[in-house]
């Protein structure tokens, strides 16, 4: 009798990108596991369940000498979790890693190098209905990270990114943000947006539509929600044409 175990992991590539992979492991010392799997379920109606702990076993299959395989269910305790004996036997399996399979890319090399997430929610589209019209304001700090995304079905997908560190362009971006007036009515959908965020100020992100209505979404200075402002052409050029 042998066992195959599969689990998901992440792996950083040499180019800096990040992949989701499935790892396949195998072992043939399964006596303790098979004995634990033969245990009965405990009666959930006897006594109160005294724990919120969720205990389970991972994905596995057992194989016999003839190549036949089965995926048995671990016996359950009175709380509906895998019985402790089964979970401990599974965790103690001596296994050998035999294969890695890339499932999908989680982060591209470009996004990793730029310090940007691979995808980001289009918060302007989400928050615009409830945001208050307001004026723009400069970002805090000398540095600003710019991450540009193309609007997708669910989230924006990374296009490019950079860190703007002090200098004339950083000053010009701040002035252009501060010059943004209240946003007007919008009937166009943006295809690209930028996230501007100071690396040292989490939660202070500013969102800018790079086409469509060119709106700006930024935190309200009083901490109550977000403001919606109107970007001028200069701000779009400074972000879009470095």
What is the C-alpha to C-alpha distance for residues 101 and 183, in angstroms, rounded to an integer?
A: 48
Residue 44: what pLDDT? 73
Q: Are 240 and 232 contacting, i.e. CB atoms less than 8 angstroms apart?
A: no
Query: Per-residue pLDDT tens for 32-90?
Result: 999 999 999 988 766 567 667 788 899 999 999 888 999 999 999 888 899 999 999 99
Ordered by start, the domain boundaries in the chain are 2-105, 110-240
**How many C-beta atoms surround the C-beta of residue 71 within 10 A?**
9
**Band of residue 19 on the pLDDT scale cut at 50, 70, 90:** very high
Q: Are 104 and 8 contacting, i.e. CB atoms less than 8 angstroms apart?
A: no
Helix axes of 167-178 and 233-240: crossing angle, nearest 10 degrees: 150
Query: Per-residue pLDDT tens for 114-135?
Result: 999 999 999 999 999 999 999 9
> How many residues would you count in the chain?
242
Q: Average pLDDT of 187-194?
A: 94
- Of the two residues 80 and 20, the one the predictor is more confident about is 20
**Band of residue 206 on the pLDDT scale cut at 50, 70, 90:** very high
What is the C-alpha to C-alpha distance for residues 82 and 33, in angstroms, rounded to an integer?
A: 12
């Amino acid at each position: 009798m042998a066992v195959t175990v599969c689990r998901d992991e992440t792996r950083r590539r040499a180019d800096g990108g990040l992949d989701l992979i499935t790892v396949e492991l195998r072992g043939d010392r399964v006596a303790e596991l098979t004995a634990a799997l033969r245990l009965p379920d405990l009666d959930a109606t006897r006594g109160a369940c005294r724990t919120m702990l969720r205990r389970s076993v991972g994905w596995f299959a057992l194989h016999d000498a003839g190549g036949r395989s089965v995926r048995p269910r671990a016996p359950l305790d009175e709380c509906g979790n895998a019985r402790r004996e089964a979970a401990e036997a599974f965790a103690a399996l001596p296994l050998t890693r035999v294969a890695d399979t890339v499932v999908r890319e989680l982060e591209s090399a470009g996004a990793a190098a730029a310090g940007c997430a691979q995808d980001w929610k289009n918060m302007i589209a989400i928050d615009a209905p409830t945001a208050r019209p307001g004026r723009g304001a400069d970002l805090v700090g000398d540095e600003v990270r710019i991450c540009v995304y193309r609007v997708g079905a669910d989230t924006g997908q990374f296009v490019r990114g950079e860190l703007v560190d002090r200098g004339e362009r950083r000053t010009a971006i701040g002035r252009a943000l501060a010059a943004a007036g209240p946003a007007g009515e919008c009937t166009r959908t943006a295809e690209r947006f930028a996230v501007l965020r100071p690396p040292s100020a989490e939660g202070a992100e500013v969102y800018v539509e790079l086409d469509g209505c060119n709106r700006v979404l930024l935190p309200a200075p009083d901490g109550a929600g977000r403001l919606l402002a109107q970007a001028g052409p200069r701000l779009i050029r400074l972000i879009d044409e470095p």
